[in-house]
């Protein structure tokens, strides 16, 4: 197995290669607006670091969001195109799951409930609640978008990760790293699910709301 993972749902434009046992290489650039500019160079860097070529890739994993429309679309379209061009199996996962997996894997939260909240812009956050135990982090609510002040009362005081709590600290409980998705942890999550025989075949992006930019509609004035 040579799995290439990528995510563009957060400030991080992140790419990694995983051989089924460990992460071979990872490249991450922080730029909230430069996903299209940084993704391809990141792909090139991890292949060079691992001494691989596109034809060696057997699996492609991509974070499906939720995330801002433009940045998220860059990653998903790239993943689909790459998988098709090298005849690799395409896998998609919720990007919030990757953040929760990283929080569990690094020991930030080892047991109990966890809130993951990322920047949705417009002063909102994308969020989901997780149950963390020895075996990992399990999502217990569907991903949603909300103003920080409108989060349900039963999640407000939970330990939290993601960039949302950093941007709006008054609306969250104790919080820490990771702030953004890591492709290395996303790859580790997908490899683990595949090893357990779980289906990792989701491919629909989690936009959760309409894009900021929409075509203008001309209206014809009535002639009296």
Q: Is 70 left (phi over 0), alpha (psi -120 to 50) or beta?
A: alpha
Contacts (Cβ under 8 Å, ≥6 apart) of 15? 4, 5, 6, 26, 27, 28, 39, 42, 43, 45, 46, 183
What pLDDT score does 222 carry? 41
Pairing of strands 112-121, 124-133: antiparallel
Q: What pLDDT was estimated at residue 32?
A: 87
pLDDT the model gives residue 223: 37
Lowest-confidence pick of 42-46, 143-147, 172-176, 206-210: 206-210
For 49-101, the pLDDT digits (tens) are 999 999 999 999 999 999 999 899 999 999 999 999 999 999 999 999 999 99
The topology (CATH level 3) of 108-176 is Nucleotidyltransferase; domain 5 (3.30.420)
Determine what percent of the chain is predicted with pLDDT higher than 90. 87
Residue 34 has pLDDT above 70, yes or no: yes
Q: Topology of 3-95+181-195 in CATH?
A: Nucleotidyltransferase; domain 5 (3.30.420)
pLDDT higher at 110 or 159: 159
**CATH 3.30.420.40 residue spans of the chain:** 3-95+181-195, 108-176
pLDDT digits (tens, 9 = 90+) for 150-176: 999 999 999 999 999 999 999 999 998
Torsion, CA 141, CA 144, CA 148, CA 151, rounded to 10: -40
Q: How confident is the model at residue 209 (pLDDT cuts 50, 70, 90)?
A: confident
């Amino acid at each position: 197995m040579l799995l290439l993972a990528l995510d563009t749902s957060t400030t991080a434009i992140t790419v990694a290669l995983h051989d089924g046992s460990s992460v071979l290489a990872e490249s991450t650039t922080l730029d909230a607006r430069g996903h299209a500019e940084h993704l391809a160079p990141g792909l090139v860097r991890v292949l060079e670091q691992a001494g691989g070529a596109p034809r060696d890739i057997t699996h492609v994993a991509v974070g499906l969001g939720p995330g801002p429309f433009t940045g998220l679309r860059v990653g998903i379209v790239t993943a689909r195109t790459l998988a098709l061009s090298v005849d690799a199996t395409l896998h998609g996962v919720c990007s919030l799951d990757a953040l929760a997996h990283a929080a569990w894997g690094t020991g930030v939260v080892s047991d109990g409930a966890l809130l993951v909240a990322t920047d949705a812009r417009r002063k909102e956050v994308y969020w989901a609640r997780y149950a963390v135990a020895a075996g990992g982090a399990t999502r217990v609510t569907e991903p949603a978008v909300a103003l920080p002040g409108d989060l349900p009362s039963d999640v407000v005081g939970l330990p939290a990760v993601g960039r949302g709590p950093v941007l709006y600290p008054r609306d969250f409980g104790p919080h820490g790293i990771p702030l953004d998705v890591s492709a290395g942890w996303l790859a580790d999550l997908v490899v683990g699910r595949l090893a357990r025989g779980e289906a990792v075949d989701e491919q629909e992006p989690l936009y959760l709301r309409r894009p900021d930019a929409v075509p203008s509609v001309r209206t014809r004035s009535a002639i009296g």
